[in-house]
Amino acid sequence: MDNLVIRKYVNEDFNEVIKLLKKHFNISDNIKSIDDSLNSFGIVATTDKKIVGYLRIDKLYNPFKKCYYYFLSYVCVDSIYQNMSIGTKMLEFVFNYAKNDSISYIELTSRSSREAANHLYLKNGFVIRDTNVFRKDI
């Protein structure tokens, strides 16, 4: 893909990113901004300045392994631009970023019905861990 740029999210990306996220995930209607910090931030993929991909990184500390890791979420690519390796390029960007950020491992979750996503993660070196993901709403 020509003109593909992968970079960190900036506030000016907000409207386009929210539009993209709404197409793929169940997110709140009244988000006014995405709260980023030093350890939690977005990555966007753009082509000709149009945002075509997004993912979020949360850098977390595991005190028992004494190491930092990334948790990735909201990985998505605009449906018109899927299967053009943009997801792979965003992950490669994350891997390179992680190498310069003292990261020991990267985790994410994905429903088994998200077949393209599961293929993408396996293809890029993630392995499926034998664990269940639980959530309790409060």
Ligand X SMILES: CC(C)(COP(=O)(O)OP(=O)(O)OC[C@H]1O[C@@H](n2cnc3c(N)ncnc32)[C@H](O)[C@@H]1OP(=O)(O)O)[C@@H](O)C(=O)NCCC(=O)NCCS
Catalog residues that contact ligand X under the rule CB under 6 A: 24, 75-77, 82-88, 110, 114-117, 119-120, 123
Min CB(61)–ligand X separation in Å: 23
Using N-to-C axis directions, what is the helix angle for 115-123 and 86-99, rounded to 10°? 40
Q: Whose Cβ is closer to ligand X: residue 7's or residue 65's?
A: 7
**Position of minimal CB gap to ligand X:** 87
The least CB distance from residue 88 to ligand X, in Å, is 3
CA distances from 122 to 5, 26, 72, 125, 138 (A): 23, 24, 15, 5, 33
Nearest approach, Cβ of residue 120 and ligand X (Å)? 5
Neighbours of 82 (CB within 10 A): 15
